[in-house]
Amino acid sequence: MHGEYKVPGGKLVVADVEVSGGVLASVRLSGDFFLEPDDALEALDAALTGLPADAGTATIAARVRAALPPGAVLLGFSPESVATAVRRAVGGATGWLDHDWQLVHTGPQPPQTHMALDEVLAREVAAGRRPPTLRVWEWASPAVVIGSFQSLANEVDREAAQRLGVQVVRRVSGGGAMFVEPGNTITYSLYAPPSLVEGLSFTESYAFLDDWVLVALGELGVKAWYQPINDIATDQGKIAGAAQKRLADGTVLHHVTMSYDIDAAKMLQVLRIGREKLRGKGLASAAKRVDPLRRQTGLPREEVIDRMVGTFRRQYGLTASELTGAELAAAEELVAAKFATDGWIARIP
């Protein structure tokens, strides 16, 4: 059994294991990490051999830590990342390169249609009718998108939103509200099979699924990192937020909205951002909660997107695709039946 885990911002850890009689009969670790002394690797392999095959991440990491000689140095990985690689091997995890990734980047869609497309495409991947897909969004109009479990009244000033022509929609994933305008944000979704995140905790899966974005931002001159649970941050402030939804079979919908050039004044009129929330983030003003990519890169939004997609293609492969007629029809049906209804938008008043 083979399992891989790329440590976000770190190195690749690989575990090749054999299981016999419910225990790890053989373990061989490898990767592009750094470890001193050299023979510590053999000690780790020996220490993990014999563990129950269903041992949890904490148990495996503790065994790794106990097997390290005094003064051992681990660079680019940790006992926890070794445990994750082992769990992924035993669980039959797949890697990015095991899949034929498709790219969908169509013209602008209404906010409600975007919400519906996320649900439809996740279901299509779960059913095997669509390969794992990266979708880049284009917004047809301004919107406030609230999380699945947020209170509408607590998060949005609906009168201000109506006055300013900002549509209020609710997505299927959790997390916080976001304000978007055409041309001012970069939003993308990943629709992936359960095997891609096998062996990862929810928190680990966020950073794992967006590691390619950190690489892309670095190539654009933006030093960014994951700030648990779901923020992408820079030394100049937050730059993006992620959210996830898992279908019943484990299929993953993971989407991210990145700030390119947000109108903070308008955002503050439609979002009810409390002072305590700002104070908890150590910020003097709400305007500093977004850090536009335009200022940090100096590049047009379209070029930022092209270079991000190029990074994904270089690392994992990517084939251009289109939304099918059936997918678009299913999305429109969902808009009418769910995403455009007060029963959904105000399901938590």
**pTM score of the predicted model:** 0.91
Taking each helix axis from N to C end, the angle separating 211-219 and 301-316, rounded to the nearest 10 degrees, works out to 120
pLDDT at 8: 87
Contact 237, 291 (CB under 8 A): yes
User: Got the DSSP string for 218-255?
Assistant: HHTT--EEEETTTEEEETTEEEEEEEEEE-TT--EEEE
Lowest mean pLDDT among 40-54, 102-116, 280-294, 324-338: 280-294
Provide the token pair at 184. Answer: 């001012």
Closest-CA residue to 134 (of 240, 246, 212): 212
Give the CATH number for residue 69.
3.30.390.50
CA 166/CA 188 separation, integer angstroms: 20
Give the CATH number for residue 261.
3.30.930.10
50, 71, 90 - which closes a domain: 90
pLDDT at 95: 94
pLDDT tens digits, 2-41: 999 999 889 999 999 999 999 999 999 999 999 999 999 9
Note down the domain range covering 315. 96-345
Same domain for 234 and 311, yes or no, is yes
pLDDT at 178: 93
Contact 83, 64 (CB under 8 A): yes
pLDDT at residue 283 above 70?
no
Whole-number Cα distances in Å, 288 to 13, 102, 213, 259, 278 = 37, 35, 22, 12, 9
Same domain for 159 and 298, yes or no, is yes
Same domain for 222 and 128, yes or no, is yes
Average model confidence (pLDDT) across the chain: 93
pLDDT at 289: 46
Same domain for 137 and 269, yes or no, is yes
3-state secondary structure of 247: coil
pLDDT at residue 332 above 70?
yes
Provide the token pair at 150. Answer: 């947020």
Same domain for 203 and 114, yes or no, is yes
33, 58, 90 - which closes a domain: 90
pLDDT at 244: 97
CA 254/CA 243 separation, integer angstroms: 6
Same domain for 63 and 104, yes or no, is no
Same domain for 153 and 223, yes or no, is yes
Contact 143, 262 (CB under 8 A): no
User: Got the DSSP string for 126-139?
Assistant: HHTSS--EEEE--B
55, 90, 125 - which closes a domain: 90
Q: What is the mean pLDDT of residues 262-291?
A: 65
